[in-house]
Structure 1
Amino acid sequence: MTAPEWIAVDWGTSHVRVWAMNGATILARRDSDQGMGRLHASEFEAALLTLLGDWLDTAPVPLPVVICGMAGARQGWHEAPYIPVPCEVPVHGVAVPTKDARLNVRILPGLSQAKPADVMRGEETQIGGFLASQADFDGVLCLPGTHTKWAHISAREVVSFRTFMTGEMFALLSQQSVLRFSTADGWDKAAFLDGVADGMGRPAGFAAELFSLRARDLLEDPPKGHARARLSGLLIGLELAGSRPYWLGQDVVVLSDDSLGQAYVAALDAQGAVVRSAATEGVTLAGLVTAFKAG
């Protein structure tokens, strides 16, 4: 392999991805389950060195390493303080002291919002990568996940954003509540869209609708995947009701390349929103490339 010029790192809570880079060209990639949630601050450097492995044999010294994500959290490797919005996506990272002189590590900061109180860490790099190829975008980016983000973008700035814990609530309800006996794998698109409509239109009945999922499973033997899809729809419907000021009448891009992103696109499309999608891995790496070039 050609000697890497620098290393791009996306360090999440549960996983970490590293790319050996030559400019904007990917030379190789490695993945690990050594996310922030499994490491003490003193263990990050060793985890990174393990991932880099033989890449260090021919790399320049010191080797530039640009990191986004949870490695910069207070509980991570080295805290990279939040930058308040409105602001452009940060491209200058916080220098991290290392024991190994072969490394020159920088961690990108996250974004914060005072009212209503909110933070993001990692998603800002995805936003920066998206804007690297669509600098004139003026609208809203939706970043689905455990904690879904809605960000208003204008004049290359993140103007405001809002986080919804929809993914975490789905996991808790489908895996740890009585609904775990009913939410088997599978998907029913019609049930999902009905759930979206009910979550948006009748939010006061949400808790009752949840128990109806279990009761219907016991009494009617619905099609496989019905309860799981409807639960997802109810939760996303509640989210769309709460995030309406972000997506109504706006150009919306869902940054996701998986089934969850497709669900958000379908839910928004059913509400008549102008929506399209873009893959997340490409924009994450593009954001890291932008930060590396910024120096």
Structure 2
Amino acid sequence: MVSPNWIAVDWGTTRLRVWAMNDSEVLENRSSDKGMGSLDRDGFEPALLELVEDWLGDRPVPVIACGMVGARTGWVEAEYRPTPCTPLDPLRATRPVVRDPRLDVHILPGLSQIDPPDVLRGEETQIAGFIAQNPDFQGTLCLPGTHCKWVIISNGQVEGFHTFMTGEVYALLSRQSVLRLTIGDAKPDLPGFLEASAQAATNADMAAAGLFPLRAAALLNGMTPEQGAGRLSGLLIGSELAAAHPLWHGRRVIIIGAPELSALYAQALTQAGADAHQMDGGELVLAGLTAAASALTRTP
């Protein structure tokens, strides 16, 4: 019988992950495919209860949640805290109305930036987990994904950030443009990736100029889908590095994300002369949620 004193929740667009916690100790973890994108507003509490109901006793259990559950189309919209600021302030969490009195749900706020306009939601918890483990870090965090976040960290605060839609652009081009006939779901070839990323990192115009030649090379030169995927990924990530140059040049960069994608960013950044290091972000969400729960527990 698992009896947590709080429950950690990472609720993204496609996945829901929960951990039964005793302070910082994980008692059990579970997941489902009931992400925010598949639920209407009335579906969130039942989806959560499906995973955690047998962890609940007779008293309310604090549930600390992050991610797209707090989006405008989520369970309830959580605020965006303006930067510069610390990555988390659990005292400003949003508390949705629940039917089951055993649930005491706190949805953590995201972060915002006015100039240029930008927002992030979910990544702030990974950032908080990283800072909890590396309190003296000064530099840049790169969080690749569908939307890649570049985050400037100084004195335990998020000073500013910038979002690039590189992953989404890659998905659209490889699956919905003429390049779908060349690339499809192929995995990127590393030599092609490194060559193209080096070209685009010094000349961002290469990203646009080099797209149709990928289709032509498949027709005329027998370029494989893997080679095409490598070059497309390299052109897009290299162009991103060119635009993000002020965010990483002369700074220490930690890349946090899924291992395969993070490895591509790490190699492209190292090739471009950056001081870049890769880190698995899987445990950082839980570290950030634990820091938030600890802060709530300390509150009188």
Q: Please, what TM-score do these two structures have when normalized by structure 1? A: 0.96
Name the residue aligned to 1:133: 133
Name the residue aligned to 2:110: 110
Name the residue aligned to 1:283: 284
The number of residues matched between the two structures is 293
The structure 1 residue matched to 2:63, chosen from 50, 61, 65, is 65
The structure 1 residue matched to 2:76, chosen from 75, 78, 86, is 78
Is contact 1:5–1:60 with CA below 8 Å preserved after alignment?
Answer: no
SS at match of 2:45: helix
* Deviation at residue 202 of structure 1 after TM alignment: 2.9
Name the residue aligned to 1:176: 176
Percent identity over the alignment? Answer: 49
Deviating above 6 A after TM superposition, structure 1's stretches of 4 or more consecutive aligned residues are none
SS at match of 1:228: helix
CA distance in 1 between counterparts of 2:158 and 2:84 reads 5
Is contact 1:81–1:109 with CA below 8 Å preserved after alignment?
Answer: yes
CA distance in 2 between counterparts of 1:293 and 1:7 reads 12
Name the residue aligned to 2:40: 40
CA distance in 1 between counterparts of 2:10 and 2:130 reads 16
Name the residue aligned to 1:5: 5
The Cα offsets for residues 233-258 of structure 1, whole Å up to 9 and x where unpaired, read as 00001100111111001010001242
Once structures 1 and 2 are overlaid, which stretch shifts more, 285-294 or 181-190?
181-190
* Deviation at residue 40 of structure 1 after TM alignment: 1.1
Name the residue aligned to 1:226: 227
CA distance in 1 between counterparts of 2:65 and 2:212 reads 43
Q: Which ranges in structure 2 are unaligned for 5 or more consecutive residues?
A: none
CA distance in 2 between counterparts of 1:83 and 1:208 reads 39
* Deviation at residue 16 of structure 1 after TM alignment: 1.1
CA distance in 2 between counterparts of 1:245 and 1:16 reads 35
User: Counterparts in 2 of 1:204-215, with a 5 A limit?
Assistant: 204-215=205-216
- What RMSD over aligned residues (CA atoms) do the two structures have, in Å? 1.2
The Cα offsets for residues 57-97 of structure 1, whole Å up to 9 and x where unpaired, read as xx461011000011111111111110000001123122222
Q: Which ranges in structure 1 are unaligned for 5 or more consecutive residues?
A: none
The Cα offsets for residues 121-180 of structure 1, whole Å up to 9 and x where unpaired, read as 000000000000100100000000000000000010000000000000000001111111
Is contact 1:196–1:234 with CA below 8 Å preserved after alignment?
Answer: yes
User: Counterparts in 2 of 1:121-200, with a 5 A limit?
Assistant: 121-184=121-184, 185-200=186-201
The Cα offsets for residues 248-269 of structure 1, whole Å up to 9 and x where unpaired, read as 0101000124200110000001
CA distance in 2 between counterparts of 1:54 and 1:151 reads 39
Q: Confirm whether residue 98 of structure 1 aligns to residue 98 of structure 2.
A: yes
User: Counterparts in 2 of 1:250-265, with a 5 A limit?
Assistant: 250-265=251-266
Is contact 1:144–1:255 with CA below 8 Å preserved after alignment?
Answer: yes
Q: Please, what TM-score do these two structures have when normalized by structure 2? A: 0.95
* Deviation at residue 207 of structure 1 after TM alignment: 2.6
* Deviation at residue 224 of structure 1 after TM alignment: 5.0
The Cα offsets for residues 191-225 of structure 1, whole Å up to 9 and x where unpaired, read as 00111122223332433311000100111112451
